[in-house]
Amino acid sequence: MSCTQIKQLETLLRKQLTKKTIKNVNISRLTEPGENFGSIMYKLDIVLSNNDNGTEEILQAVAKTLPDTELWRKIFNIQVTYTNEMAFYEIVLPTFLEFQRSLGINEVINCFAECLAVRKNLLENSDIIDDDAVIVLENLIPKGYNNIDRFKGFDLNTTKIILKDIAHLHAVALSLKLKDPKTFDEKVKKYCHVYEVPKEHNTNNGFLKALIAENEECRQYVSRIHGWGEIAKSPPREPFATVVHEDLWTNNTMQKFENGQPIGNKLVDLQIYEYGSPAADVFFFIFSSIPLEVLKRHLDDLLHFYHESLTSLLKKHKCDLKFSYDQFLEEMEFVSAYEFGHALLFHIIAVNGKKGGRESSEEIPSEDKFLKYISQPVKEKAWYMVKECVKRGWLK
């Protein structure tokens, strides 16, 4: 889709245009190259005119469109991921909110952007995702939300506010599953799809092993290092399986700060959410996106904080499921075979990849080029991950 045109925008936004007409649209690129590969994001400033009195207002939105090359469309399996992300905003999230309100919960889940419109194509009676597919969301930036500097990572307080929202997502889905399994299956689980890394793109074992082998203490564990997708995910385990985001790294969250302290968080990019262990999100987020100095001092505190947040939220949803801290740690061990390689790769390539990096139209660089540009601090955290996970039984 062209940066300068979104076809039939007025029809797309008809729910937002009651007694209003689009007077002008300014469309510009929202994200820099190298910051997002699963989509192209555009900023929309839409001037609306009131049909009754002629007053004008600006609707500030963002449009999520398809990656611009077949390579990335294949990697992200757009027919599945875009369909399911649209379903999350149109079906899954409203189901969660309706369930929470039926329980009398006032503080409903509020960590997602408002969806203004979705479209799969301009065809009649077709569910095919094509070049005219688009998801239109509220623009969170004018409301004070931004991505933090991924090179700096999250401090302790910001990490906690994100973990609490992750726990909220897990808790509402888990409670709905146990209290109303029919609704959960028909309106939630139906749209959860296990993302599989394309086989031709999961050959990242070599440079990961080479990086780990640079550290004398870690060298003995090189045989345990596997690239993302080289080890298959284990099937979900009951009764704790829930909806997991499965892509929670720095750029897929946005925070709002006041006087230097985080007061709000939003989770974005719902392309590959699935049905699985809640520990998968915790493991991947903590090890991919939290700075080394925070992990060294607060890893156990963060694990306890997430667990306490989850169990507290389950109680608020009148869910009497017993989920002890030891059981949570068992889940962390359960997901570690897959999530370690996932987190390690994203720590190196996504979180700490070059800013203003390659366009999505470029081929994926070779492994030796990746290794050449890895900084010492990035290596230090990778080595910490190995040693810490070996110690905890999370790297076998």
Domain assignment present for 234: yes
Residue 359 pLDDT: 47
Termini Cα distance of the chain: 45
Partners of 256 in the β-ladder: 145, 264
Residue 33 pLDDT: 59
Question: How do strand 56-65 and strand 40-50 relate by DSSP bridges?
Answer: antiparallel
CA distances from residue 183 to 92, 94, 276, 316 in whole angstroms, order as listed: 10, 12, 18, 19
Residue 36 pLDDT: 67
Residue 217, domain extent: 68-112+149-391
Cα angle, residue 21 at apex, residues 20 and 26 outer, rounded to 5°: 120
Q: Which residue has the tokens 């009764």?
A: 239
Domain assignment present for 60: no
Residue whose C-alpha is closest to residue 281's, from 197, 166, 153? 166
Residue 266 pLDDT: 99
Alpha-carbon gap, residue 25 to 27, rounded angstroms = 6
Domain assignment present for 383: yes
H or E element, residue 276: strand 274-276
- The answer to whether the beta carbons of residues 155 and 294 sit under 8 Å apart is yes
Question: How do strand 253-258 and strand 20-29 relate by DSSP bridges?
Answer: unpaired
Residue 229 pLDDT: 83
b/e map 152-162, b = 16+ CB within 10 Å: ebbbeebbbbb
Residue 69 pLDDT: 85
The CATH number assigned to the domain holding 221 equals 3.90.1200
Total domains in the chain come to: 1
Would you give per-residue pLDDT tens digits along the chain (396 residues)? 444 579 999 999 988 888 899 999 999 998 775 566 789 999 999 999 999 898 999 999 999 999 988 888 988 899 999 999 999 999 999 999 999 999 999 999 999 999 999 999 999 899 999 999 999 999 999 999 999 999 999 999 999 999 999 999 999 999 999 999 999 999 999 999 998 887 765 655 788 999 999 999 999 999 999 988 888 898 999 999 999 999 999 999 999 999 999 999 999 999 999 999 999 999 999 999 999 999 999 999 999 999 999 999 999 999 999 999 999 999 999 999 999 999 999 999 889 887 765 544 445 556 666 677 899 999 999 999 999 999 999 999
Question: How do strand 56-65 and strand 134-138 relate by DSSP bridges?
Answer: antiparallel
Domain assignment present for 10: no
- The answer to whether the beta carbons of residues 282 and 166 sit under 8 Å apart is yes
Domain assignment present for 248: yes
Residue 54 pLDDT: 87
What are the tokens at 102? 């039926």
- The answer to whether the beta carbons of residues 62 and 127 sit under 8 Å apart is no
- The answer to whether the beta carbons of residues 63 and 45 sit under 8 Å apart is no
Domain assignment present for 257: yes
Which DSSP letter does residue 4 get?
Answer: T
Domain assignment present for 134: no
Residue 38 pLDDT: 80
Domain assignment present for 211: yes
